Structure 1
Amino acid sequence: MFEIDALRLLVTVAETGSFTKAAVRLNYTQSAVSRRIATLEHQAGGPLFERLPRGVRLNPAGRTLHRHALEVLDRLSRARRELAVLQAGQGGLLHMGAFSTANISLVPTALRALQDARPDVEVVAVEGRTGTLMERLGDGALDLAVVSDYPSGLPSADGVTTSVLCQDDLCVALPSGHRLAGSGTLDLSELREEAWLQDAYGDRPTMLADACARAGFTPRKVIRIAEWTGKFGYVAAGLGVALVPSLAAWAVPDELVLCRLTDPGLRRTVHVALPAVPLPAALKLRDLLRDAVD
């Protein structure tokens, strides 16, 4: 209803007590001030100032509007300051997402460095699968995401760009008492009799299925366990083995052993995904993520 410039003029006239002085301060003509105040009074439904022999002062209606005008102008001023800080990458909210194993060490290391470098940036972190994170980036709900092409490729999203962050080898987790636990490096065919812990459902192809096919066998049994803690528990109990990204090595319990695999296809690519016009703080976090993998 009320224009911001008109509210600013109201405050200035109230401070100076004069249309003429307000005109000088705001670089208006005196007649322009009179016209704009008249328009404001028309919008307010009545006079806002008492006309005195020398100058003007707010009447009750004017004092009411003046109080609200001060609040509006203060909020706008704070908004400008916050936006300036946000656009400079020095503060504000940063919404980021990552898949589960990236949150074990990689992402926390980068976020710790961001906290030190940009203490006024408040990060809102979420965890999710790559497909969901890419959708949320495309919808504008995230400012950055750490995603991967595992288990079935990297999806695309409108307006989202990706850049490679690192290559992440997939190892196999065995119980420490397993007959192959001391091998260091294994050929996948040596595990053809094992049950596999896996969380992917449905008929879509997976990296494990493709690798087993290359090794000349089909897993004899697949146990569907979604959470890493559950997978580790099953492996520790000798109920199966599991592919574990090297990013997750830090979280592997002591009673398990990680062995490398000879198949070069058992590797995933980790990417940083950003919207078309990223926030400066998102670009800073991207750089810190790159530092964390160097």
Structure 2
Amino acid sequence: MASMPTPHGSQSLYEVFLAVARAGSFTAAARALGYTQSAVSRQIQALEDETGAALFERLPRGVRLSEAGRVLLPHAEAVRDRLAAARAELAALRTLDGGLLRLGAFASAGAALVPRAQAVFRERHPGVTVTRVEGPSVKHLGLVAAGEEDLAVVSPAAGAPAPDGVTLHHLLDEPMLVALERGHPSAGRRDVRLGELAGEEWIVGNERLEDTLFRPAVAAGFRPRTGLVAHDWIAKLGAVAAGLGVTLVPALAAASVRPDVALVTIHPDDVPYRRICAATPPVATVAATSFLRLLRETARSLEEQGVR
């Protein structure tokens, strides 16, 4: 005859104690729990050893709580309730009925890629709380590595390895467009060569061009004439609209460009691309894995639409 299972991590000592207190005997408690009587007896003995007190009075027929057992009873009930709550929360993490997703992204990823994926994620998993922080890619890579973010959308330098503690998942290669004043001679063209705009005043986000959207173009040998440094997109596009210069705009942010600025495609031989990736810890959470799947679907959709 097969032996009955013995208590394990799914039932705490306190839950076994409560079962015995409720049933009034080790045998009845064992039957209710699906354990052997000797296993329940050992669990109670272990708890009595831990508390240093006899918790039950052994009677000819069954047991009843001792004074120490009556003192322990409400505390055991509190432990049981906290364990039940913990198990429910852990189950919610597995089923995405609850939990937290800490998300990071660089600025222009928040124009189309991230919000579209986040909208679908919220519809499918309304119980999961999503927090989102915007900032440069290097910041988010550090936060993922430190375990302070679960997933981040980043643009790592071409050829750069992932930092320790980070796994990179390629999403898409994003082309750049050029933003011009509406009255600019090239504003109505189908595409433009970067060399044709070499004499223009370029508006950039950093004096070091290798740290800007120009990084791929600079690597290819194009060195623009820069006159205005503007870190904020509103300031950049405002300067373009006022005729103070031209600037590069990521394709992901194209739909959010103001109407008094013209966007022109860069010739295929010149167009700079930047690599867009999702960064996660080596072992991603269930929520991060689900969000990554949606990011990939959204990235494919955006590429099919010309990333516009």
Is the structural similarity TM-score above 0.5?
yes
Asked if residue 72 in structure 1 is aligned to residue 87 in structure 2, the reply is no
Structure 2 residue corresponding to 1:190, chosen from 185, 190, 196: 196
**Correspondence for 1:226 among 198, 208, 231:** 231
Query: What does the per-residue CA deviation read over 1:93-142, in whole Å, with 9 as the maximum and x for residues that have no partner?
Result: 22222211111111111111112222323222222222222222222222
Q: Which runs of 5+ in 1 are unaligned?
A: none
Following TM superposition, by how much is the alpha carbon of 1:36 offset from its aligned partner in structure 2, in angstroms? 4.6
1:84 maps to 91
Query: Could you tell me which amino acid in structure 2 is paired with residue 44 of structure 1?
Result: T
Aligned 1:204-219 pairs, distance under 5 A: 204=210, 208=214, 211=217, 214=220, 218-219=223-224
SS at match of 1:120: coil
Does structure 2 conserve the Cα–Cα contact (< 8 Å) formed by 1:90 and 1:281? no
Say which is worse superposed, 223-232 or 157-166, in terms of deviation: 157-166
Match of 2:16 in 1: 9
Q: Which amino acid aligns with 1:259?
A: V
2:259 maps to 1:251: no
Task: Evaluate the alpha carbon distance shift between residue 193 and residue 45 of structure 1 in structure 2; reply closer, same or farther with a 3 A threshold.
Answer: same
Deviations 1:26-82 (A, max 9, x none): 42436x655654553454354544666765444564344222222222222222232
Task: Spell out the pairing of 1:97-246 with structure 2 (5 A cutoff).
Answer: 97-149=104-156, 154-200=160-206, 202=208, 204=210, 208=214, 211=217, 214=220, 218-246=223-251
TM-score using structure 2 length: 0.80
Note closer, same or farther for the CA distance 1:53–1:100 as it changes in structure 2 (3 Å cut).
Answer: same
C-alpha distance 272-212 of structure 1, shift in aligned 2 (>3 A): closer
Q: What is the one-letter code of the residue matched to 2:199?
A: E
1:265-280 superposed matches below 5 A: 265-280=271-286
5+ long unaligned stretches in structure 2: 1-8, 302-308
What is the rounded CA distance, in whole Å, between the counterparts of 2:18 and 2:142 in structure 1?
46
Q: Which amino acid aligns with 1:244?
A: V
CA distance in 2, matches of 1:134, 1:119: 27
Q: Give me the CA root mean square deviation.
A: 3.0
* Aligned length in residues: 289
**Does the C-alpha gap of structure 1 residues 37 and 98 become closer, same or farther in structure 2, counting only changes over 3 Å?**
same
- Aligned match of 1:289: 295
- The amino acid of 2:175's aligned partner reads D
Q: Which amino acid aligns with 1:290?
A: R
Do the aligned partners of 1:89 and 1:279 also contact (CA within 8 Å) in 2?
no
Match of 1:268, SS state, is strand
Provide the rounded CA distance (Å) in 2 between the counterparts of 1:245 and 1:51.
Answer: 77
Cα shift at 1:236: 1.9
- One-letter code of the match for 2:266? L
- TM-superposed deviation, 1:234: 1.9
Under a length normalisation based on structure 1, what TM-score does the superposition of the two structures give?
0.83
Q: Which protein is richer in strand relative to its size?
A: 1
Please report how far the alpha carbon of residue 285 of structure 1 lies from its aligned counterpart in structure 2 after TM superposition.
Answer: 1.9
